[in-house]
Structure 1
Amino acid sequence: MNAPLRRAGVVVLVLFGLIFANLNWVQVYRADDYRTHEFNRRVMVAEYETPRGVIEAGGKALAQNKETGDELKYLRVYPEGKMYAPVLGYKPVGLGATGIEASENDFLSGASDKLFADRLSNMFTGDNAGGGNVVLSVNPKAQEAAWKQMNNNQRNVSRGAAVAIDPSTGAIQAMVSMPSFDPNPLVDHDMEAAQKAYKALDADEDDPLINRAVGATLPPGSVFKVIVAASALQNGYKTSTEIEAGSVYREGGATIRNSEDEVCPGSQVTLKEALTESCNTGFSRLGVALGADKVKESAKAFGFEDEALKVGDLDSGTGLTVAASRTGAIANPDGTTDTAALAQSSLGQRDVRMTPLQGAMIAATVANGGRQMRPYLVQKLLGPDRRTIYTAEPDELREPISSGVADDLRDMMVSVVENGTGKRAKIDGFTVGGKTGTAQNAEGANPHGWFIGFAFDDSGKAVSAICVMLENVPGGHASAEAARIAGLIMKAAAGRGGD
């Protein structure tokens, strides 16, 4: 045999060897992956043979099934449409789920270890009861009030978020993000139609697929003064301590002015008065006096820089991923403190960024005596037969401040609502505290309006803590509308209606 033929023979043998190895790899090592892959049509059909569990809140079904009579037996249906979509997410055909549909997918589909007994029973009985049911902590009345007020706000703002929390447990009472989206077209069994609907939403410049409550980080403006005030109180200041203020403060190239001439024009103001009036010059000077390390330390104690937080199921630790809130470096290139940045950061500007959920957690911490509870959305897991498998047990996440500092902050924040910039958050029959924030952002753009706060009933129980954020609010006093909406959401959460 000549050399060319030998080489050709060797090549053919090598190729046969590779084909043989590949067949073994596919049939032996990758068989399970291919058999269970979401794009395998038989897998899709099998998945839709079993009814997916219901997601509900307050006795109301938010995600359920509809029999189709088609090859895919059950269609996922979201009766409330856009209102709950950022929380629920959606479960499309042949693709991964999002939101609670994703984080609780194993339980909803029936594949969870928690449902092993049910699967075993079905093998003997032949029943096909379906997946488990997820009960959310959301209060439908509070959610409806938040949805209505946010989407019909008096400033015609189209983007924003609202989050309400039970301060003593961490249970999410309401979570709204706008603009939202209708999940129903995204789960259509016509995959081309579903993909077309998704592409339209994905291309929308207002980003309706983003849950702004947990995924948007924006400059919080003066609500960050609560963090600076907490730092001051932890470092020897009293609510009655006088701090330097004035109409103008220049620091390291930054010029700080108050929002209006009549705000703390004197050379000194008490810490309580400074928060009540939202005195920019006072808090900038205070932040510089405390130093960058103390301000950042206080922010971190409240949850800034936390990259691991998820909001969903306390038992499994799964849920909606929360973007980390940040203070920024507040430093020069050589590592020394940038005092201009510190002066601006103490007002929640410069590089400070915060999620609305973080804002609600700050308010909840103050209302709960300094203890910050881990926020959650999954209140219960029920089997297909509605028996209770899991009930959330509140979990303390951290203790950012002492009870004494919390009491002082509560008193100061109540003064903001009673006497200062947060008057529109007042609720008859409740003691309400809070802090407004107007945050400058892009050059020439309208500012963001923020409000964080809490409400106590007449028995002294903290019934709700809140954060409302409205993006690019026209017309001045950007935070006033956020405060008004916050009051109505907390009123609804307390069972007093949301009108």
Structure 2
Amino acid sequence: MIVGAFIMAALFIILLRLADIQLINTESFSKKGINLVQESVNQRTQEVVIDDGRGRFVDRNGEPLKNQAEPSLVLFPFLKEIDWPVEKIAEIVNVPSTRLNNMLTSASEPIVLSTNEGVRLSSKELEKINQLEIPGVFGIYRQSPLEESIGEHIIGITGENAELLRKKYPDKKDLSYKTQIGITGLEKAFDEFLLPDAETKLLYHVDGDGNPLFGINVKYIADSNPFYPVTVETTLDKELQTMAEEVLNKQKVENGGLVLLDIETNNVLAMVSKPELNRSDNHSLTNYMLQPIFPGSVFKTVISAAAIEYGLDDATREFNCNLNLYGENDGGQDDGMLTFARSFAKSCNYTFTTLAEELMEKDASAIEETATKLGLIGPVGWTGEVFHYPQFKQFPEEKSGRVWGNDADKKVKRAIDQTAIGQKDVKVTPLGVVNMMSTIARGGQKKQVRIVENILYKNGTNMYSFSSNSIEGESISPYTASSLQKLLRLVVTDPEGTGRRFQTSPLEVSGKSGTAQTGKKNAKGETLYNKWFAGYFPSNSPKYALVVVEMDTTSAEAGTNAAFYDVVNEISKLDK
């Protein structure tokens, strides 16, 4: 009786399990929400996905940034069992017929031939293929990754995560558990808009041996929705983005990056982060243009702005630039007596530590408030209400910068001195730095940085437009902005200025260099720095703001200034 009871209980459990699989949770099985009905259909079909239905990204001119519609030839395996005009297809696609037959002989899944397989087709050739009306032979435009990927950190990556999918979108039960979701970048920020409505595919039914189950008819299944998938129209310029990536590679900037803005609109035209994205290396997934790092002397722009705002910019006053940042004569400096303006051009530490100490006596909040007025501290990326999102962010991974780590440091002379030159606890993002330069070039007007302008429906109509938003809060005065413009230009025109190499630039450059200690050393025991150059051009009629930073480098190896110079040079050619 005990054994019988045990057997009955086991059978009852098995029946419950069968009921769960076949009757109760057939369309949402397990935590992954697997549709068992669909999976059973998939087991007896072979298919070619033409378009997974996820939204796309294009640049400001409509050029694709991640995927493209690539002309492709599709051959289904059952062709090896029938007579078909292989010679005609071989002639159209310029591939030996023997190669096509050999591929089919060993094929158990549909074969797709495109650029990756050395087959380049035009729209006319696709038309010729389809006019032959051969069962199992199709010329299609298939969504595929671009041959050379660009802007990977900006666009971001996607991946399968069934549990996260169900958690984020509990109401979207029709989504397959294999649906890709955004993990980083714009893929993550715009994920809900990009989710697929349905796939477009070619399929046919097979038996257990892979032979046609219902004849050789291949079905074309397409989404008839005129609105989806959507297209996210970014502000990026594909040509400028490609150029920027090539420049950093040429100058061997392996850890850092750059950001290029259109000053009038404050739109991102190009953004590159290094090291290059590698999905197996979590370190490389980070977009360092959105992460706070030590700015070094670039931060003297903030001290200068505060000094001007608080009336400490006496043009006749001179500072003893033979002294170090603490006011000590250690023999490491020999620039002599310099005015405020020339101190900025030559990046004299003592001048700015002196001014910072005087500012803190006047107002303990002067430095961080000025940094905020300049649009430096952040977050500075586009934020606003979008449909049911009260605080939608175009840069969800952007971090805020900071000036002070501890308010007690505001009363410590050495802490003030180190803060004045962009060290101690000062950390800002490259996006914040380039936004500061753009703000100065516009005369002090602060704007949010935008990287997406529109979301377009499939039929081309507008789903949503992102307005050009100002950053709330006080701004620097027009006088301060004008004074900073003169200082930034002097960095280049002064014979001993830290940006004098840009005197030969094809476009007039205004900017500020920076070197920040990181507290790290390389394998040789050499001190590592963050090397910066940030500015705008042309100086007289500012159009572009640019920041280039190389992290954890020795001064001798840094390619920062060379990369900035090359970008200006290439843009001058493109503008012509």
CA contact (8 A) 1:51 1:74 kept: no
Taking the aligned partners of 1:143 and 1:133, their CA distance within structure 2 comes to 19
- For residue 538 of structure 2, the aligned residue among 450, 456, 476 is 456
Q: 2:404 maps to which residue?
A: 328
CA contact (8 A) 2:377 2:428 kept: no
Q: 1:187 maps to which residue?
A: none
CA contact (8 A) 2:491 2:511 kept: yes
Q: 1:109 maps to which residue?
A: 195
Q: 1:164 maps to which residue?
A: 260
Taking the aligned partners of 1:256 and 1:327, their CA distance within structure 2 comes to 27
CA contact (8 A) 1:133 1:382 kept: yes
- Per-residue CA deviations over 1:341-370 (Å, capped at 9, x if unaligned) read 110110001111111111101111110100
- Per-residue CA deviations over 1:274-316 (Å, capped at 9, x if unaligned) read 1111111111111111115211221233345545x54588857
- Written as runs of structure 1 = structure 2, the 5 A alignment for 1:179-218 is 179-181=275-277, 198-199=279-280, 201-202=281-282, 207-214=283-290, 216-218=291-293
The 1:38/1:357 distance shift into structure 2, 3 A limit, reads farther
Taking the aligned partners of 1:219 and 1:208, their CA distance within structure 2 comes to 19
What's the secondary structure of 2:158's corresponding residue?
coil
1:374 aligns with 2:448: yes
- For residue 275 of structure 1, the aligned residue among 344, 368, 381 is 344
What's the secondary structure of 1:60's corresponding residue?
coil
- Written as runs of structure 1 = structure 2, the 5 A alignment for 1:300-339 is 300-303=372-375, 305-306=377-378, 309-311=380-382, 317-320=392-395, 321-329=397-405, 331-332=407-408, 337-339=411-413
- Written as runs of structure 1 = structure 2, the 5 A alignment for 1:395-434 is 395-398=469-472, 399-419=474-494, 420-426=497-503, 428=505, 430-434=507-511
The 1:212/1:52 distance shift into structure 2, 3 A limit, reads same
Q: 1:122 maps to which residue?
A: none
Q: 1:483 maps to which residue?
A: 561
* Structure 2: 5+ residue stretches without partners: 1-8, 75-108, 111-140, 161-177, 198-222, 522-526
Greater shift after overlay, 321-330 or 165-174? 321-330
| Cα drift, residue 243 of structure 1 | 4.8
Aligned residues: CA RMSD? 4.1
What's the secondary structure of 2:533's corresponding residue?
strand
- Per-residue CA deviations over 1:92-115 (Å, capped at 9, x if unaligned) read 23453121112122323367xxxx
The 1:105/1:178 distance shift into structure 2, 3 A limit, reads same
Q: 2:462 maps to which residue?
A: 388
CA contact (8 A) 1:250 1:256 kept: no
Q: 1:466 maps to which residue?
A: 546
- Per-residue CA deviations over 1:71-127 (Å, capped at 9, x if unaligned) read 9x986624432x31000002223453121112122323367xxxxxxxxxxxxx945
Letter in 1 for 2:270: A
Taking the aligned partners of 2:35 and 2:375, their CA distance within structure 1 comes to 37
CA contact (8 A) 1:62 1:80 kept: no
How many residue pairs are counted as aligned between the two chains? 430
Taking the aligned partners of 2:319 and 2:35, their CA distance within structure 1 comes to 63
Q: 1:349 maps to which residue?
A: 423
The 1:36/1:256 distance shift into structure 2, 3 A limit, reads farther
Taking the aligned partners of 1:353 and 1:240, their CA distance within structure 2 comes to 30
- Per-residue CA deviations over 1:370-415 (Å, capped at 9, x if unaligned) read 0121101112222112233344432211453111100000011001
The 1:270/1:78 distance shift into structure 2, 3 A limit, reads same
- For residue 56 of structure 1, the aligned residue among 58, 61, 69 is 58
What's the secondary structure of 1:454's corresponding residue?
strand
- Per-residue CA deviations over 1:211-249 (Å, capped at 9, x if unaligned) read 1111x3221110000000000000013361525333224
Taking the aligned partners of 2:432 and 2:35, their CA distance within structure 1 comes to 35
CA contact (8 A) 1:51 1:65 kept: no
Q: 2:353 maps to which residue?
A: 284
Taking the aligned partners of 2:35 and 2:563, their CA distance within structure 1 comes to 43
Letter in 1 for 2:192: D
Greater shift after overlay, 407-416 or 49-58? 49-58
Letter in 2 for 1:171: N
CA contact (8 A) 1:159 1:179 kept: yes
- For residue 517 of structure 2, the aligned residue among 440, 456, 464 is 440
Taking the aligned partners of 2:509 and 2:330, their CA distance within structure 1 comes to 28
| Cα drift, residue 170 of structure 1 | 1.2
CA contact (8 A) 1:311 1:322 kept: no
Taking the aligned partners of 2:148 and 2:466, their CA distance within structure 1 comes to 24
Q: 2:368 maps to which residue?
A: 296
The 1:384/1:347 distance shift into structure 2, 3 A limit, reads same
CA contact (8 A) 1:256 1:280 kept: no
Taking the aligned partners of 2:528 and 2:411, their CA distance within structure 1 comes to 30
Letter in 1 for 2:181: G
The 1:339/1:354 distance shift into structure 2, 3 A limit, reads same
What's the secondary structure of 2:574's corresponding residue?
coil
What's the secondary structure of 2:298's corresponding residue?
helix
CA contact (8 A) 2:505 2:565 kept: no
Letter in 1 for 2:264: S
1:96 aligns with 2:181: yes
Higher relative contact order (CA 8 A, sep 6+): 1
The 1:110/1:240 distance shift into structure 2, 3 A limit, reads farther
1:136 aligns with 2:234: yes
Normalising by structure 1, report the TM-score. 0.74
The 1:496/1:392 distance shift into structure 2, 3 A limit, reads farther
What's the secondary structure of 2:401's corresponding residue?
coil
| Cα drift, residue 167 of structure 1 | 1.8
If you compute each CA radius of gyration, which structure gives the higher value, 1 or 2? 2
Letter in 1 for 2:66: A
- Per-residue CA deviations over 1:194-221 (Å, capped at 9, x if unaligned) read xxxx33x22xxxx21111111x322111
Q: 2:131 maps to which residue?
A: none
CA contact (8 A) 1:53 1:384 kept: no
The 1:211/1:358 distance shift into structure 2, 3 A limit, reads same
Taking the aligned partners of 1:180 and 1:450, their CA distance within structure 2 comes to 19
| Cα drift, residue 271 of structure 1 | 1.5
CA contact (8 A) 2:253 2:274 kept: no
Normalising by structure 2, report the TM-score. 0.65
